[in-house]
Amino acid sequence: MIGRLNHVAIAVSDLEAATRTYRDTLGARVSAPLSLPDHGVVTVFVELPNTKIELLAPLGEESPIAKFLARNPDGGIHHLCYEVDDILAARDRLAGEGARVLGNGEPKIGAHGKPVLFLHPKDFCGTLVELEEA
């Protein structure tokens, strides 16, 4: 059901510093910051030959990233994103197998302009999983 790994998301407290590290120290191509108010984040994508790294910073006090950083002040891996061909079919199949979809269960539009859903980390080996329709 899952396709390729779309990105690994890393929560950061200082998006500018993290961007400089990937761009200047590691020599990666880095996107401009993008605010996603529906998700409560500002995101930057680091382009790699085989996938992407998403740097996530909180957009406001109620951001899920602010809560993550409160528990993990140094930041860290926040989630893995896998591509699926049909997000609604994937959601229904996973829910039928007992997986918990976060939020109201309806996809939101993500940073790539495509529908996304998040799955509870307790159902996936302690890892928050994002599904993105390919």
CATH code of the domain covering residue 65: 3.10.180.10
Give yes or no for a contact between 41 and 65, defined as CB atoms under 8 angstroms apart: yes
Residue 42 belongs to what domain range?
5-133
- Out of 83, 130, 132, 133, the active site residue is 130
Tell the burial category of 66 from Cβ atoms under 10 Å away from its Cβ (0-12, 13-18, 19+): middle
How many C-beta atoms surround the C-beta of residue 32 within 10 A?
Answer: 7
Q: What is the pTM of this model?
A: 0.94
- Please tell me the total count of domains within the chain: 1
In the residue annotation, 132 being an active-site residue is answered as: no
Percent of the chain with pLDDT over 70: 100
pLDDT of residue 97: 96
The DSSP bridge partners found for residue 129 are 80, 119
Q: Beta-strand (E) ranges in the chain?
A: 5-11, 29-30, 34-36, 41-47, 52-58, 76-84, 108-109, 115-119, 128-133
Question: For the segment 114-132, what is each residue's pLDDT rounded down to a tens digit?
Answer: 999 999 999 999 999 999 9
Q: Which residues of the chain have pLDDT under 70?
A: none
The DSSP bridge partners found for residue 34 are 43
